[in-house]
Amino acid sequence: MHRNSAMVNEPGGHGSPNPCLDGSSIGRESSKVSSRCSTRGLKPERHERLREKMRRRMESGDKWFSLEFFPPRLAEGAAKLISGFDQMGAGGPLFIDVTWHPAGDPGSDKETSSMTIASIAVNYCGLETVLHMTCCCQSQEKITCHLHKAKRLGLKNILALRGDPVGDQWKEEEGGFCYAVDLVKHIRSEFGDYFDIGVAGYPKGHPDAGSFESDLKFLKEKVSAGADFIITQLFFEADTFCQFVKACSEIGITCPILPGIFLIQNYHSLQQLVKLSKLEVPQQIKDKIEPIKDNDAAICNYGIDQAVSLCQRLLASGLVPGLHFYTLNRTTAAVEVLKRLGMWTEDPRRFLPWAVSAHPKRWEEDVRPIFWASRPKSYIYRTQEWDEFPKGRWGNSSSPAFGELKDCYLFYLKSATPTEELLKMWGEELNSEESVFEVFMRYFSGEPNQNGCQVTCLPWNDKPLATDTGLMKEQLLRMNQRGVLTINSQPNVNGQPSSHPVLGWGPSGGYVFQKAYLEFFTSPKTVEALLQVLKKYEFRVNYHVVNVKGENITNAPELQPNAVTWGIFPGREIIQPTVVDPVSFMFWKDEAFALWIKQWGKLYDEESPSQKIIQCIHDNYFLVNLVDNDFPLDNCLWQVIEDTFELLDRPPQTDTEMEAT
């Protein structure tokens, strides 16, 4: 993989059969990463363009859905929207799209810009994403800059629109475009076939067009200029869309045409959208809504019923390849409609054990260090400057160029939980280190704390306990009760089917394997006892112990990575997507230790007792990872921990006993 020349100097240990405590820097020799296998065979659609995905689904008769969102005005709203993308992705949309509002500085790096929201959806949420682009208030040069930026950020799909005028009348921008067809031509002229391009269609004709027939002619021009698919403006009756599709076919438009579905969720939003689109609401809908216009719940229920009925008629027509929903950032109703249609399909299986990015340069990526298992967005952010990514094997990569830690706390990498709720979960006031132990225990047990609040996240994991971690709940509870504060773990697995609902990943018909893994913070006293115990497991357990200063002890041979997850699938080479890499661990430890302060300590006043407790743990505890290499046998790491506790519980030796020893 490409390694950035700007390396971060980290203290580290030189691996050898005999562990050492050393503050010197880790060797910097780079190495070529093997590319014997890739994920192309695991999930071919990951490498397909959007238009190819559409074509494949149409040929198979597999209907799809897509979802539209708009950038919120405030950063808090943007963070909430992005946290919801993961939930939306679970239902299997073919793509999402993000609207473009000239008044919101849409092409900037602001947290609320269209460009930022779309980029995060692609890079950090793994969603196929279409970015709207309009002609409004933009010169040709500015549009070109936005498109170059979109390409650099990994966006490959553009919905090319004229856009609504800022005022009542359209004003031509000097050096700009007045029509969407000109924007389509410009994209194809400047970027060739890089972008897949969508355009808007109007089932009843654009309100500014002279006639329905002339508007169809303009639509045909947009398709002939290079558009790959059409998304229609909203409509209320299935016949309207069906007649439109047939009219398009008659003049030679053959690309996919997606019906735009508007869910009526309240009276005000319906009025606003109708005003903007200049559409007339059918009388039968008016008759239903008027008596309940002040009852949002009743209108929402009606809107769901109406949308389900409309979509059923559209799907039955045979003219619809998929459904496109205008969510207005309110996804509950859309999900309910899709569930009733049988199109919301949450598959618990993953094609890799970690969350993927949809950036084209990461399409071949199929192996990562396990340390970021619960913080995939952070890993993606810290490796965004890499030109190439590991394929098949991590390799002996002794100088990975991870991004600077100071940039890793952007709004979409922070906890999505409000500060007030975090205080209720993690303690409005801490009395001792044992108070911290209690928080970890509540996270693993799922039982409410003294505030009656469930602990659903930790600084190192912003989501509830993973299902595979639940398999080890009893052991983890005992560990955390004694101050072995677990932040990452996995059970050993010896040939479970890839279809296993908890442990499975990858294509059907395969088998998956795992080495048992534990990662935790613990006190110097516990580490001292642990290292004594580990002497008995020297040839079975690999370990790495490090403090915030970078002083570390490891028995990893020559700092080689250790594969801890792999899978065997019919007709494919072995895939090993997760490794414990001693060198990457030294970069991860900075982030892991910083989260004590950045996420937890910052909740309290400076110099308060609570803040001092967190600071003390940060300054003095060690971060430890353990790997049990004998995966076919029972996990020995629990016994390692129990032996450590037994050693800690022994009464101190007298001078006479020490001399006899």
For 254, other C-beta atoms within 10 Å of its C-beta total 8
Which among 26, 5, 31 is positioned nearest to 14, based on CA atoms? 26
Residue 456 contacts residue 425 (beta carbons within 8 Å)? yes
* CA separation for the pair 331, 15 (Å, rounded): 51
Using DSSP, how many helices (H) and how many strands (E) does the chain show?
Answer: 21, 18
List Cβ neighbours of 239 (8 Å cut-off, separation of 6 or more). Answer: none
Which among 160, 567, 109 is positioned nearest to 366, based on CA atoms? 567
Tokens of 478: 């005992």
Q: Would you call 108 exposed, middle or buried from its count of C-beta atoms within 10 A (0-12, 13-18, 19+)?
A: middle
* CA separation for the pair 627, 637 (Å, rounded): 8
Q: Which amino acid is at 439?
A: V
Which among 86, 110, 85, 115 is positioned nearest to 98, based on CA atoms? 115
Residue 130 contacts residue 99 (beta carbons within 8 Å)? no
* CA separation for the pair 402, 422 (Å, rounded): 29
- Run of H or E including 240: helix 238-250
How open is the CA angle 568-571-573, to the nearest 5 degrees?
50
Q: Of the residues 45, 48, 68, 385, which is catalytic?
A: 68
* CA separation for the pair 102, 120 (Å, rounded): 20
List Cβ neighbours of 70 (8 Å cut-off, separation of 6 or more). Answer: 98, 99, 101, 328, 329
State CA 428 to chain mean position distance.
Answer: 30
- Burial letters 280-298, b for 16+ CB under 10 A, else e: eeeeebeebbeeeeeeeee
Tokens of 359: 């950036």
Q: Would you call 597 exposed, middle or buried from its count of C-beta atoms within 10 A (0-12, 13-18, 19+)?
A: middle
Sheet harboring 622-628: ordered strands across? 485-490, 516-522, 622-628, 541-547, 552-554
Question: Is 68 assigned a catalytic role?
Answer: yes
Q: What is the CA radius of gyration of the chain?
A: 28
Tokens of 537: 């497991």
Residue 500 contacts residue 512 (beta carbons within 8 Å)? yes
* CA separation for the pair 206, 214 (Å, rounded): 9
Residue 497 contacts residue 510 (beta carbons within 8 Å)? yes
SS3 at position 159: strand
Residue 163 contacts residue 203 (beta carbons within 8 Å)? no
Residue 199 contacts residue 160 (beta carbons within 8 Å)? yes
**Any idea which residues carry the catalytic annotation?**
68
